[in-house]
């Protein structure tokens, strides 16, 4: 279920874009960290080579690094699909300075596009880099809850299927969910710690009046974390349901075979008794002997089934 996105040639990169260019705020967005544009930005603003390297290599936990004159922030984003059942993790890298902010990511970012759409439509007005940072993180964290709702719907469906017809495919889905939720938990936990740092950030790049807004996002991250723990417990319960159903099915099979073997035991004894090669034998010369013996065998079967039913064994 879980997977991380890495750069691919199939990603349609638009390159470096200017989203906001106003007095006191320049927002640049780059959707191809492998391009030379990132190197040019690094030379222009003095970005450290380690921060540029972080932009280009893999998926990393959310964090904040402090450099001279700017901060480097990694934000984790998530996406869930139930067909197939998998969790996709991506990241948005942010360089924030006194009057600029640069967002870097592989391919299109739904969070950046959403904030950009609200700016274009007039629904949001941003005038400082920390406001852009808050808007992006807030959009990312707000998407956690719909993702968890989708996971919850999948868990409900799996639990219903387990009660009706448990099979190996459902077990694979449960393990996929557990792996994906573990990775999702790591992303949310690191994001929560990042927000905890931003709430207490004393650098001039994050103004004091913005701390309350980051605290609100922090509360959403904590709520998402609580839901993650709840769903992990539900998946553990779903696994228990599967194991219980399998055990019950095995018990039913063993019980059926035991009843059959118990019924066959006296029948085998009787037929074995009459199969002995003696010259003189009860009912051996009787023309209706076969019917008497057959009736006796049927009586044994009926009486045993009646006894099992009386004892509620069947």
* DSSP per-residue letters across 8-25: -TTS----EEEEEEETTE
Average of per-residue pLDDT values in the chain: 86
Paired tokens of 52? 């540029």
pTM of the model: 0.74
Q: How many CB atoms lie within 10 A of CB 132?
A: 25
CA distances from 59 to 67, 118, 236 (A): 21, 27, 27
Averaged over 23-51, what is the pLDDT?
A: 92
Backbone φ/ψ region at 24: left (φ over 0), alpha (ψ -120 to 50), beta: left
Nearest Cα neighbor of 228 from 255, 292, 220 is 220
CA triple 171-173-179, angle to 5 deg: 105
Q: Are 181 and 232 in contact (CB under 8 A)?
A: yes
Q: DSSP state, 300?
A: H
Summarize pLDDT for 156-198 with one digit per residue, the tens.
Answer: 888 888 888 888 888 888 888 888 888 888 888 999 999 999 9
Q: How many CB atoms lie within 10 A of CB 201?
A: 19
Summarize pLDDT for 195-245 with one digit per residue, the tens.
Answer: 999 998 888 899 999 999 999 999 999 999 888 888 888 888 888 888 888
Q: DSSP state, 60?
A: -
Residue with tokens 């034998």: 281
Averaged over 111-123, what is the pLDDT?
A: 89
pLDDT of the residue at 10: 35
Mean pLDDT lowest among 27-36, 76-85, 260-269: 76-85
Residue with tokens 């949310």: 188
pLDDT of the residue at 274: 78
Averaged over 248-256, what is the pLDDT?
A: 87
Averaged over 50-66, what is the pLDDT?
A: 90
Q: Are 165 and 245 in contact (CB under 8 A)?
A: no
In which band, very low, low, confident or very high, does the pLDDT at 13 lie, cut at 50, 70 and 90? low
Averaged over 129-137, what is the pLDDT?
A: 93
pLDDT of the residue at 148: 86
Strands (E), the chain: 2-4, 16-22, 25-30, 63-67, 70-82, 85-96, 100-104
Summarize pLDDT for 272-300 with one digit per residue, the tens.
Answer: 887 777 777 777 777 888 888 889 889 99
State the alpha helices, DSSP H only, in the chain: 36-45, 49-56, 110-121, 129-142, 144-164, 168-199, 211-274, 289-310
């Amino acid at each position: 279920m879980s997977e991380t996105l890495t750069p691919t040639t199939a990603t349609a990169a638009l390159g470096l874009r200017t989203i906001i260019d106003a007095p006191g705020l320049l927002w640049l967005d780059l959707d191809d960290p492998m391009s030379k544009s990132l190197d040019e930005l690094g030379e222009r603003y003095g970005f450290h080579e380690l921060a540029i390297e972080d932009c280009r290599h893999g998926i990393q936990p959310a964090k904040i690094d402090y450099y001279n004159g700017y901060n480097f922030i990694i934000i984790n984003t998530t996406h869930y699909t139930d067909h197939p059942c998998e969790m996709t993790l991506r990241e948005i890298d942010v360089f924030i300075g006194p009057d600029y902010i640069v967002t870097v990511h592989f391919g299109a970012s739904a969070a950046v596009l959403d904030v950009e759409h609200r700016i274009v439509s007039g629904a949001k007005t941003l005038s400082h880099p920390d406001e852009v940072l808050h808007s992006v993180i807030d959009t990312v964290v707000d998407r956690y809850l719909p993702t968890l709702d989708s996971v919850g719907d999948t868990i409900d469906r799996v639990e219903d299927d387990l009660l009706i017809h448990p099979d190996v495919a459902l077990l694979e889905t449960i393990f996929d969910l557990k792996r994906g939720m573990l990775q999702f938990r790591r992303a949310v936990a690191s994001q929560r710690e990042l927000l905890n740092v931003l709430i207490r950030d004393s650098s001039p790049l994050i103004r004091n009046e913005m701390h309350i807004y980051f605290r609100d996002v922090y509360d959403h991250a904590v709520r998402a974390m609580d839901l993650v723990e709840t769903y992990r417990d539900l998946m553990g319960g779903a696994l228990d349901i599967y194991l219980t159903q399998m055990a019950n099915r095995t018990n039913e099979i063993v019980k059926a075979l035991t009843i059959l073997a118990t019924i066959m035991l006296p029948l085998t004894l009787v037929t074995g008794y009459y199969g002995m090669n003696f010259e003189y034998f009860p009912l051996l010369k009787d023309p209706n002997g076969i019917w008497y013996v057959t009736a006796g065998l049927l009586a044994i079967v009926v009486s045993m089934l009646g006894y099992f039913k009386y004892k509620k064994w069947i």
